[in-house]
Amino acid sequence: MSPVLISTVAVKEFKNSIRNRWIIGVSLILAVMALAISYFGFSPRGETGFGGFDVTIVSLASLVTYLIPIIALTLGFDTVVGEAEGKTLELILTMPINKFELYLGKFIGLSLSIVTSTVAGFGIAGAIIAWKSGTEHISDYIFFIISAILLGLAFLSLALMISVMVKERSKAIGWVIFFWFFFVLIFDLVLIGILVATEGKISTFLFSALLYANPADLFRLLNLASIESVKTAYGLATITKGKAFSQPFLYGGMFIWIIWPLLAGYFIFRRRNC
Amino acid sequence: MNGENGLAELIIDVENISKSYGHVEAVKGVSFAIKKGELFGLIGPNGAGKTTLFKMLLGLLKPTTGTIRVMGTDVSEVWSREVRAHTGYLPENIAFYDHLSGLETLLFYARLKGAPKSEVSELLDLVGMTEAATRKVGEYSKGMRQRIGLAQALLGKPEILFLDEPTTGLDPEGIGAFYNILNDVKAREVTIVLTSHILKEIQDRVDRLGIIGGGKLLASGSVKELRAALGLRSTVRVFVKDKVHAVKEAAIKAGGEIASLKENLLLVNCPNGSKMVLLKELMKEGHLIADIEFHEPSLEDVFMGYAMGGEV
């Protein structure tokens, strides 16, 4: 494995995200979203003004669950299939770089784009919130940013898997829509359906397993179950008891969601003819 | 098949390879070998299997059966960084990242190939793209892309160059410049494998060629060998001033075969190897002849001969 070759591909991908203003665009969206939520968070009560980090995290976590997956999926879905259609993949595969190095380089480059835009967007917003309403719960906000990055990377990993699964870009778009709907919207509806149908008599193990089967749910748990007041308010205090919902386990679950699609994608890519 | 100088000099050795896509057999039992420093042409109609064969030689496709050895490594089984570092490839209708400039494009591929940065400016100069180097590739004409493509293929001073329809999109001046560069490259003992559908362009340049048709190698050898194998002969056009029959008799005496006689134009098929004998005999009647033209069978004639079912 050659770190030079991996970094060459990663730098090209990252520069591409800077050049096409993807990073600036996403940073702005995230910053504006965080500031707006913080400022207008109390508007239902007839108040405006910057709220603290705890209030911001609760509202932001719901929105980020919708937004970050689609951002990451659209960033990575055509990474390989787009190059194959554009005929640039054939040439690159005749170079002294193997498919693993190419695939990993692309993932690292695109990951850097997600990390930069998330840190910049939420970082700028966080600095303004801290200036206006103090630094209480700032560590929770930092962990929120970290978990948002991990959520982005998990969906980026899925996006790269999509990009090697299909031979046409149009089909990849179809898979992006499917994955987004499935993990962000349908999955929780099915989960609620199961709980209603079983009148809540579902084993703790199965319930935990189902929550771990969706990176978006892991993200929600990481943020909503981390602040005690929020945990109680959302009724999560009872269901998130136990080791399975401890922070290290939840982060571990997120890492698994980054790694398995990445590996699956690589094995598909390795077998794929160009 | 292995060439006169034996196995030791072989740089590419293809043994009985086939490639199937489902029930369709794109390449059927092809074997040939290419010696170091040789310029080997692959010709054949569209859909003959040239591209599939090329992709297998480059290790992009795995043959269904058979082996391909490039620089002694079986590239049909093993992915070799070493082989790739010593190989250059110019695909037909090359595509680059449109948002990168020509310079950035070459720097990117140079890093992948482990070539020094200094080579990039040398190659830009060689292909006449120094002035346009900072412009985005998306703004380039097809010919300019092709020239950057050639520079890319030459990065890292490859020992083998694979060129797929390399002059597509180049104007006549560009084609001339391209072959001048190729001559310099060949002088450095670089092995070149080239496909082209412009047979006129390559007939005097290739050392040997392989004719592909229907996924099979119909024939391989030098243009001269292939002409001889098909029994194609040179034609002599004799423009006669006077006494046509005397000139005709002289041609027959030298072993020529009269193909036609129309007014003052005599067409003579010249047996292989007796061109000079025929010329000497005709010159004895030189005072009766206004002009003489020799026509060698072109590569197109050779190709058509095999495409029409000539014997291998």
Instruction: Tell me which of A13, A88, A91 to substitute to probe the interface with B (most B C-beta atoms closer than 10 Å).
Output: A91
B70 contacts B160 by C-beta, under 8 angstroms = yes
State mean pLDDT over A83-107: 92
DSSP B297: P
- A:158-177 residues touching chain B, CB 8 A cutoff: none
Please identify which residue in the block is written with the tokens 């010249």.
Answer: B270
- Residue A95 pLDDT > 70, yes or no? yes
| pLDDT value for B166 | 87
Out of B59, B82, B99, closest to residue A19 by CB? B99
Confidence of residue B3 (pLDDT cuts 50, 70, 90): very low
B291 contacts B281 by C-beta, under 8 angstroms = no
* Cβ within 8 Å, pair B84-A94: yes
* Cβ within 8 Å, pair B95-A87: yes
Instruction: Tell me which of B96, B103, B112 to substitute to probe the interface with A (most A C-beta atoms closer than 10 Å).
Output: B112
B282 token code pair: 């005709």
Query: Hey, is the C-beta of B142 within 8 angstroms of any chain A C-beta?
Result: no
**Least confident segment among A119-123, B214-218, B221-225, B230-234:** B230-234
| pLDDT value for B5 | 45
* Cβ within 8 Å, pair A87-B91: yes
DSSP states of chain B? ---TT-GGGEEEEEEEEEEEETTEEEEEEEEEEEETT-EEEEE--TTSSHHHHHHHHTTSS--SEEEEEETTEETTT---HHHHHTEEEE-TT----TTSBHHHHHHHHHHHHT--HHHHHHHHHHTT-STTTTSBGGG--HHHHHHHHHHHHHTT--SEEEEESTTTT--HHHHHHHHHHHHHHHHTT-EEEEE-S-HHHHTTT-SEEEEEETTEEEEEE-HHHHHHHHT--EEEEEEESS-HHHHHHHHHHTT-EEEEEETTEEEEEEPTT-HHHHHHHHHTTGGGEEEEEEEPPPHHHHHHHHHTT---
| pLDDT value for A239 | 63
Give percent of chain B above pLDDT 90. 27
- Residue A88 pLDDT > 80, yes or no? yes
The residue among B280 and A175 whose pLDDT is bigger is A175
State mean pLDDT over B82-108: 91
Query: Hey, is the C-beta of A247 within 8 angstroms of any chain B C-beta?
Result: no
Within 8 A of B97 by CB-CB distance, chain A residues are 12, 16, 88
* Cβ within 8 Å, pair A94-B59: yes
| pLDDT value for B312 | 40
| pLDDT value for B54 | 87
* Helix/strand/coil for B37: coil
For the segment A154-193, what is each residue's pLDDT rounded down to a tens digit?
999 999 999 999 999 999 999 999 999 999 989 988 888 8
**Euclidean distance between CA atoms B105 and B151, whole angstroms:** 10
Within 8 A of B103 by CB-CB distance, chain A residues are none
| pLDDT value for A39 | 83
Q: Could you give all domains of chain B from N- to C-terminal order, each with its CATH number? A: 3-228 (3.40.50.300), 233-296 (3.30.2130.10)
The residue among A273 and B65 whose pLDDT is bigger is B65
Please tell me which residue of chain B has the smallest CA distance to A6.
B112
- A:33-92 residues touching chain B, CB 8 A cutoff: 86-88, 90-92
Query: Hey, is the C-beta of B19 within 8 angstroms of any chain A C-beta?
Result: no
Beta-bridge partners for B73: B70
Query: Hey, is the C-beta of A135 within 8 angstroms of any chain B C-beta?
Result: no
- Residue B115 pLDDT > 60, yes or no? yes
* Cβ within 8 Å, pair B61-A273: yes
Question: With the CA atoms of A247, A251, A253 and A256 taken in that order, what torsion angle do they form, in degrees rounded to the nearest 10?
Answer: -160
Within 8 A of A93 by CB-CB distance, chain B residues are 60
CA distance A92 to chain B (A): 8
The residue among A58 and A125 whose pLDDT is bigger is A125
Phi, psi of A235 (to 5 degrees): 70, 25
* Cβ within 8 Å, pair A91-B89: yes
**Euclidean distance between CA atoms A51 and A37, whole angstroms:** 9
**Least confident segment among A99-108, B101-110, B299-308:** B299-308
Confidence of residue B310 (pLDDT cuts 50, 70, 90): low
H-helix or E-strand spanning residue B166: none
Confidence of residue B8 (pLDDT cuts 50, 70, 90): very low
Query: Hey, is the C-beta of B152 within 8 angstroms of any chain A C-beta?
Result: yes
Please tell me which residue of chain A has the smallest CA distance to B59.
A94
Out of A5, A12, A94, closest to residue B89 by CB? A94
- Residue B85 pLDDT > 70, yes or no? yes
Within 8 A of A16 by CB-CB distance, chain B residues are 97, 99
**Least confident segment among A83-97, B73-87, B127-141:** B73-87
